[in-house]
Structure formats: C-alpha cells, structure tokens
Structure 1
Amino acid sequence: MLDAKILVIDDNKSVLSALEILLQFEYNTVTTISNPNQISSFPDLHQIDIVMLDMNFSAGVNTGNEGLFWLREIRKKAPAISVIMMTAYGAIDLAVEALKEGAADFILKPWNNDKLLATVRSAYELRKSQKEVHQLRQKESHLKQHINQSKNYIIGNSKALNTVLNLVGKVAKTNVNVLVTGENGTGKELIARELHKLSSRSNEVFIAVDMGSIAESLFESELFGHAKGAFTDAKEDRAGKFEAANGGTLFLDEIGNLSLQTQAKLLSAIQNKTIVRVGSNKPISVDIRLICATNENLDKMVVDGLFREDLLYRINTIRVEVPPLRERGNDILILADFYLNKFISKYGKQGLRINQAAQEKLMAYPWPGNIRELLHTIERAVILSESNVLKPEDFLLHVSKPISVDLGPETLEDMELLMITNALNQNDGNYSAAAEQLGISRQTLYNKMKKAGKQ
C-alpha cells in the first residue's frame, strides 16, 4: 500500500463508492466528497497528493467548464497537487484544455480498472517526484545559506585596507576572474568571500578549494569529478568542485602550488567553460565566477618556467593585492581588540584589557604571520593571563635574531629604523624604555616610526 492521500470529487455517489473500493487497496487514505463547493473549506488541502475531479456537476451540463473552474481553484490553493480530470463526455479539445490548466491526466467514464489504476499510479509518481524536487531545492537553499555564512569579518579602517575594499566593490559586480595576492595570513579568502557576497551570485554557493592540499593524482577527480567505475574506489558518479560551484563562485587558494601538468588541465576547463569527469567522455558546461589566490610571485614563476603564462593571463583579469598587517597601522590594535573580546567570551575571562605598553609592543612587531599570527598571539595571551591587565610580557612574539650579512642598510634612514626596531624589540615594545636607550624623547621615537610608516 502506497503512502498517499487521494481526494475524489464527484456528484455521483455510485462513482465515489466504486473508486473508494478500488483505490483503498492501493493507497492508505481515500477521501470522497460529492459537492465541489467543499473544496474551499477542505482541511489541509495542500497535504492531498492526488485529486480525482469530475468535470460536470450540474444536471444536463457536459461542457466541462465546471471542472476547469474547480481545477483552477485547486491549483490556486495547492499548486503541487496532481489532479486527474474525469468525465463521461470525451473530447480531445476538452482534454487538451484541462492539461493546459495544469491537470496531470484525463480519465473517461466508464473506466477500465487497470487503466485507471495505472493513471493514478503515474499521477502518484509525478507528485512524489515533485515532492522530492521541492525537498531537494529546500535542502540546496539551506546548504547554500550554511556554506555562505561566514563568521569571519574584514576588520579595520586603514587607508591600505580601504583601498583594497574600494577595488573589491568595483570588481564584485562583474564576472571577471580575479587573482588575490598577498602574504600568508593576510586574509585572502576573506577578500574572495567579500567579492562573492557583493556579486550577483551571492545567493549561490561559494566553494573554496585549497590547491596545496590536493595530491596531483587526485586533481582531476576533485575538481572535475568522476564517473562510476573510473577507478577502484569510484563506486558511484561524483561531481567535482567545478560542478558543485556551478552558478556560484569557485575559489582556488594556493594556485601557485600546481604543477605544470595540472595547470594545463585547469587552463582547458577555464577556457572552454566545460569539464569532463574522470572515466567519462561527456563534456559538462559550467558557469562559475573564478577567484584564485596565492602568496607566490606568479610573474617570477612565469619567468622561471614554473607557471604557465597563458594560465596567468586567464586568472589575472583583475589583481587584488592584500596588504600585510605591518602596513595597516592602527588596524593592528583594532584587530587585537576584536580578537580579545572574542576570546574573552570563549574562555570566560571577563574584564581583560591590553595596557599601553603592550599595545606599543604589538604595534612595533612586524607580524610576519600577519592576521593569523595576531589571532593566535591574542588567544595564547588570554588563555595564560593571570590578571585583568595584559602586559608586554604576556605577548610571546617570535623576534628573529639579527643575522650578520655583508649588505647593510642602504641609507641612513634605513640604519636609523633598524636601530629603533632593535631597541623596541630589546625592550619588549616599550617606547619609553627604547627612547631612553637611544637617547631620544619618546615623542621623537614615535614620530620617526610614524614617518617610516610603522604607525
């Protein structure tokens, strides 16, 4: 017995009884009504799977207009229901009109039981498929929302950051390929997500792929998918990242890590806007917004023969250079405060604050690991804190020891900056102590750092 609800509407009680008897052995719920006016007040009409509707209810009328009217009413209230029209007066044009209005099928009276059951079964399969499609669309919508939800934020108001965000705002509305460059930890993926969020594809998926983590042997399967039986573990067809991102944005991080062989395969997919699954010969069209990112110097890699020039041209329509944290001035303290509040909440350490000397230490540090390093530094300080005030010694920064090299500073200003930086490092970022060591005032030290772009 099939799990379906059927509603039969006919003014002939003999027809209702016959259909109820016939259908009750096939379907778990069969309801009958003799007056179509009851449709308006029928409870939970949208939960009905199939309606079997007579086309004529008034004596001496056989035009079918009554049935068409009630078909429209049912479709207004519950458009997903499969409706089968029934009439004793068969006419091709009437059947065509009913189908145009959205009926699933047409049955003539008197009917053949086997044919009627087959017709109802087809309407049931149609309704079942429509339910599945609706559920899949809902799941897809929820999945897209979940994937696109980013708990990370672009934080800061420095001139360097605002320059990048202004460029992102201009580029986002287009579909051009974008290359995001910058040091490790600068937030290249955040910029890519911002491009997606501001684009016309924002309601579609954002798929991020770390190209550095994909083995070369799995490259095609991961990006282009595979057909069942393509290799030993391919037990079913599987879509790759290009197909998964269809209609949305595909973000390929660490693009500079690809071998020349995999670069050629990627170039072909980008140029042709089609992919072919491993083990298949069928080309599949894909519509994606491509954003790539790298911390490598791709121009130099092209010169060295390590990166294809034609691929660079394809992915580099617009280049967005994300500035390192050391060039973002006061954003260091803004980000430090943001992460401090985040970890205060996470670890339940209310009332923590960073004192002035510690802030100066954070500002003086060059942050080779950029925002990622700052995040871990703040988290570590919060976890290990023993008082409500975080001091310079609470921030463990990896200051590299000076390496003796033949080439010294190029200018007097460079030498001066090196001396100031060393003094700050030796005094844990304390400006007053560093200024005293150098024999200058704290304000002079601050002005020199500001002039050098370190503030």
Structure 2
Amino acid sequence: MTDANILVIDDNKSVLSALEILLQFVHKSVQTISNPNQISSFPNLNAIDIILLDMNFSAGVNTGNEGLYWLREIKKKSPHISVIMMTAYGAIDLAVEALKEGASDFILKPWNNERLLTTVKSAYELRKSQKEVDQLKQKESNLKQVINQNKNFIVGTSKALNSVLSLVQKVAKTDVNVLVTGENGTGKELIARELHNRSIRNNEVFISVDMGSISENLFESELFGHVKGSFTDAKEDRVGKFEAANGGTLFLDEIGNLSLQTQAKLLSAIQNRVIVRVGSNKPISVDIRLICATNCNLDQMVADGLFREDLLYRINTIRVQVPPLRERDGDILVLADFYLNKFVNKYGKPGLKINQAAQEKLMAYHWPGNIRELLHTMERAVILSEGNVLKPTDFLLETGQAVSIENGPSTLEEMELVMITNALNQNDGNYSAAAEQLGISRQTLYNKLKKRGG
C-alpha cells in the first residue's frame, strides 16, 4: 500500500463507489465528492496527492470544457497535485488540451482496472518526485541564506569611502568582471560582498576563494573539481569552486599571488566560462559573476613578466580601488567606536570609553595594517582594560618605522618576520618574488603570514 491521498471527483455515484473500492486497497486514503463546486471548500487540498477528475458534469454536455475549467482551478490552488482526467468521450485533441493545462494523464471510461492502477501509480511517483524537488529547492534556498550570511558590513562616512560605494552601486547591477585593489586589511572582501548584495544575483551564493592558500598541485581540483579515482586521494566526485558558484558570484582573493602556470589554467575558465573536472573530459558550463582582489600592483607585474596581460584584461573590466584607512578622514574614530561596542558586548565590559588623548593617538597613527589592524588593536585594548576609560597607553601601536635586523629582534620568530617584511617591501608585495628571494615556497610564505594575522 502506498501513502497516497487520492480524491475522486465525478457526478456519477456508481463511478465514485467503484473507484473507491478499487483504490482503497492500494492507497492510504481515498475520498470522493460528486460536485466540483466543493473543491473550493475542500479541507486541506494541498494534502491530496492525486485527483481523478471527470471532464463532464452537466447532463447532455460532453465537450470536456467543464473538466478543463476545474483542472485550471485546482492547479491555481495547488499547482503540484497530479490530476488524472476521466471521460467517456475520448478525443485526441481533448487529451492534448488537458495535458497542456497541466493534467498528468488521461483515462477513458469504462476503464481497465489494471491500466488505471498503473496510471495512478505513475501519477503518484510523479507527485513524490515533485515533492522531493520542492524540498531540495527549499534546502538549497536555506543553504544559500546561511552561506550568504555576513555579519560584517561597511562602516564609515568619509568622502573616499563614499566615492567607492558610489562606483559599487553603478557596477553592481551589471555582470562585468571587477578587480578590487587595495592594501592588506582595507576590506576588499567586504567591497566584493557589497557588489554581490546589490546585484541581481544576491539570492544566489557568494563563494570566496583565498587563492594564496591553494597549493599548485591542488589548484585545478579546488577550482574545477575532480572525479573519483582521478588521483590517489580522490575517493569521490567533488564539485569545484566554479561549479559551486554557478548562478552566483565567485570571489578570487589574492589573485596576484598565482604562478604563471596557474594563471594560464585560470584564464581559460574565465574566458570561456567552461570548466573540466580533473580526470574527466566532459566540459561543464558555469554562469558566474567574477570578482577578483589583490594588494599587488598587477600593472607592474605585467611589465615585469610576473602576471599575464591577457588575464589582467579579463578580470579588470572595472577596477575598484579601496582607500587605505589613513586616507579615510574621520572613519578611524567611527570604526574605533564600532569595534569598541562590538568587543565590550563580547567580553562583558559595558561602559568602556576612549578618552580624548587616546582618540588623538588613534587619529595620528598611520595604520599600515588598515582596518584589520584597527580591529585587533581595539580587541586587545578591551580585553586588557582595567578601568572604564581607554587611555593612550592602552593602545600598543607600532612606531611606523621600517624594521631591520640591526634593530635587534630578540627571537627567531621576530627575525623571520623582519626578513619576510623586508622581502615583501623589496618586491612590492609580490608573494612569489618575495618567496623566491627568501628561498621558500610561496605557499610557505603565505602560511607564515596568515599565522601572524597578516
């Protein structure tokens, strides 16, 4: 016995009785009504899986128009119910019209019991499939909402920031590729998310990929996916980031840190919007909005032969330059207050304030780490605070001077950081060139900086 709930609508009570007897031993529930006008008041119509609907109800009428009318009414109230039309007057054009209006099948009277049971069973399978599709769509919608939840938002009222947001507003509604540039810690990903949130794709996923953290040997698998058995650890099929972002936005952060070899692989996917999973020959089309970000000078890298010019053209239809914090006028104090409120709530220290001298110290500082550095500075100050007022001495800021080995780092870790910082400065922030100078891999360099919150 199936779990199907069936409703039979026919003005002939003999037909209702016969169908009720036939179906009740096979399906969970069989209900009958003799007047289609009862459909509008039928309790919980959405709980019905299948309706067997007569096509003619008035005496002497056999056009089928009544049945088609009630079919439309049922579909308005519950679009996913499987409706099987019944008539003693068979005509091909009538059956075709019923199917066009949304009927799942057509039965002629008198019916063959075996064939009718098979038809009802098929209609129920269709109904179950539609329910599963609806559930999957709901799960997908819920998942997208979870993925797109972003508690961070853009804070500030400076002219420099408003200029950026004005450009974002103009560009967001289009599907052009955008390159977001700016120093480390300026909030490039927030700008990318703002582009997505203001776009026509805002109900789809925003997939962020930290390109600097992907090793070269896993680059294709991470971005394009792989099939089971394509390499030693490929124990099952895997969807890559391009496929995962299909219909939504793909954000490629730290794109300036890719090697020339991986740049070539990326270019083809961006250019054709087609990817091939590792171990497969099947091309897969992807529909994405592409946003890239970097703190590197890509124009200089192109001139130095470190970045492909054709790739730069592909990702750089519109360029959004995010200003450093030191150029955002009064936003330093606005952000400081924002993070102060956030952390006093988090760490249970209500009433904490920043005094005037401390505010002046924050305003005078050059913030080389930008918003990220300000965030960490405020969190540290709140955690270590002992009174109700944050004073200048509560904010431990760098001197702003270049650090060198001669200045006397006291630990191996400090010396390592000095060497990395100097190498990055000498190579204009290019990770690959700095790593080569230091004699380590780009991946190792990146991991060391990530460990220190850089």
Report the TM-score, using the length of structure 2 for normalisation. Answer: 0.84
Q: Which residue of 1 aligns with 2:18?
A: 18
> Which whole-Å deviations, capped at 9, do the CAs of 1:385-441 have from their partners, x for residues lacking one?
111101111112233566689xxxxxxxxxxxxxxxxxxxxxxxxxxxxxxxxxxxx
Q: Which residue of 1 aligns with 2:114?
A: 114
Q: Which residue of 2 aligns with 1:423?
A: none
| Matches of 1:151 and 1:324, distance apart in 2 | 22
**Equivalent AA in structure 2 for residue 249 of structure 1:** T
Alpha-carbon deviation of 1:119? 1.1
Question: After superposition, where does 1:148-227 map in structure 2 within 5 Å?
Answer: 148-227=148-227
> Which whole-Å deviations, capped at 9, do the CAs of 1:52-87 have from their partners, x for residues lacking one?
111223344332222222212211221211100112
SS state at 1:25 partner: coil
Question: After superposition, where does 1:220-369 map in structure 2 within 5 Å?
Answer: 220-369=220-369
Alpha-carbon deviation of 1:182? 1.2
> Which whole-Å deviations, capped at 9, do the CAs of 1:13-62 have from their partners, x for residues lacking one?
33323322332333222212222222121101122111011122334433
Per mean C-alpha deviation after superposition, the further-off stretch among 61-70 and 311-320 is 61-70
Residue 389 (structure 2) pairs with residue 389 (structure 1)? yes
RMSD: 2.1
Q: Which residue of 1 aligns with 2:34?
A: 34
| Matches of 1:114 and 1:359, distance apart in 2 | 85
From the superposition, tell whether residues 27 and 259 of structure 1 become closer, same or farther in structure 2 (CA, over 3 Å): farther
| Matches of 1:89 and 1:235, distance apart in 2 | 58
Per mean C-alpha deviation after superposition, the further-off stretch among 287-296 and 61-70 is 61-70
From the superposition, tell whether residues 173 and 97 of structure 1 become closer, same or farther in structure 2 (CA, over 3 Å): closer
From the superposition, tell whether residues 339 and 103 of structure 1 become closer, same or farther in structure 2 (CA, over 3 Å): same
Report the TM-score, using the length of structure 1 for normalisation. Answer: 0.84
Q: Which residue of 2 aligns with 1:45?
A: 45
Per mean C-alpha deviation after superposition, the further-off stretch among 192-201 and 15-24 is 15-24
From the superposition, tell whether residues 110 and 402 of structure 1 become closer, same or farther in structure 2 (CA, over 3 Å): closer
Per mean C-alpha deviation after superposition, the further-off stretch among 93-102 and 224-233 is 224-233
Residue 79 (structure 2) pairs with residue 79 (structure 1)? yes
| Matches of 2:370 and 2:243, distance apart in 1 | 33
| Matches of 2:236 and 2:34, distance apart in 1 | 50
Contact 2:154 2:190 in 1 (8 A): yes
Per mean C-alpha deviation after superposition, the further-off stretch among 57-66 and 178-187 is 57-66
Q: Which residue of 2 aligns with 1:370?
A: 370
Identity %: 83
From the superposition, tell whether residues 294 and 404 of structure 1 become closer, same or farther in structure 2 (CA, over 3 Å): closer
| Matches of 1:58 and 1:261, distance apart in 2 | 76
From the superposition, tell whether residues 15 and 403 of structure 1 become closer, same or farther in structure 2 (CA, over 3 Å): closer
| Matches of 1:155 and 1:80, distance apart in 2 | 46
| Matches of 1:168 and 1:297, distance apart in 2 | 21
**Equivalent AA in structure 1 for residue 390 of structure 2:** L
From the superposition, tell whether residues 72 and 403 of structure 1 become closer, same or farther in structure 2 (CA, over 3 Å): closer
SS state at 1:7 partner: strand
**Equivalent AA in structure 2 for residue 387 of structure 1:** G
| Matches of 1:113 and 1:235, distance apart in 2 | 49
Per mean C-alpha deviation after superposition, the further-off stretch among 22-31 and 230-239 is 230-239
Question: After superposition, where does 1:138-153 map in structure 2 within 5 Å?
Answer: 138-153=138-153
Per mean C-alpha deviation after superposition, the further-off stretch among 98-107 and 279-288 is 279-288
Per mean C-alpha deviation after superposition, the further-off stretch among 342-351 and 195-204 is 195-204
**Equivalent AA in structure 2 for residue 334 of structure 1:** V
> Which whole-Å deviations, capped at 9, do the CAs of 1:298-355 have from their partners, x for residues lacking one?
2232233222121111111222221211222321111000000111122221111000
Per mean C-alpha deviation after superposition, the further-off stretch among 185-194 and 296-305 is 296-305
**Equivalent AA in structure 2 for residue 226 of structure 1:** H
> Which whole-Å deviations, capped at 9, do the CAs of 1:158-215 have from their partners, x for residues lacking one?
2222222222222223222111111111100011111122223223222111111222
From the superposition, tell whether residues 404 and 276 of structure 1 become closer, same or farther in structure 2 (CA, over 3 Å): closer
From the superposition, tell whether residues 329 and 206 of structure 1 become closer, same or farther in structure 2 (CA, over 3 Å): same
SS state at 1:5 partner: strand
| Matches of 2:304 and 2:22, distance apart in 1 | 79
| Matches of 1:169 and 1:114, distance apart in 2 | 63
Per mean C-alpha deviation after superposition, the further-off stretch among 323-332 and 268-277 is 323-332
From the superposition, tell whether residues 191 and 401 of structure 1 become closer, same or farther in structure 2 (CA, over 3 Å): closer
Structure with larger Rg: 1
SS state at 1:53 partner: strand
Q: Which runs of 5+ in 1 are unaligned?
A: 406-455
SS state at 1:61 partner: coil
Contact 2:366 2:400 in 1 (8 A): no
**Equivalent AA in structure 1 for residue 307 of structure 2:** F
From the superposition, tell whether residues 404 and 70 of structure 1 become closer, same or farther in structure 2 (CA, over 3 Å): closer
Alpha-carbon deviation of 1:130? 1.7
**Equivalent AA in structure 1 for residue 175 of structure 2:** N
| Matches of 2:158 and 2:57, distance apart in 1 | 75
Q: Which runs of 5+ in 2 are unaligned?
A: 406-454
Alpha-carbon deviation of 1:232? 4.5
> Which whole-Å deviations, capped at 9, do the CAs of 1:76-120 have from their partners, x for residues lacking one?
221211100112221112211211221110011222222212211
From the superposition, tell whether residues 44 and 310 of structure 1 become closer, same or farther in structure 2 (CA, over 3 Å): same
Kindly tell me the number of residue pairs found equivalent between the two proteins: 406
SS state at 2:121 partner: helix
Alpha-carbon deviation of 1:294? 0.9
Alpha-carbon deviation of 1:292? 0.4
> Which whole-Å deviations, capped at 9, do the CAs of 1:132-164 have from their partners, x for residues lacking one?
222222223333333333211211122222222
| Matches of 1:26 and 1:260, distance apart in 2 | 65
Alpha-carbon deviation of 1:218? 2.1
| Matches of 2:195 and 2:163, distance apart in 1 | 14
From the superposition, tell whether residues 221 and 59 of structure 1 become closer, same or farther in structure 2 (CA, over 3 Å): same
| Matches of 1:401 and 1:234, distance apart in 2 | 49
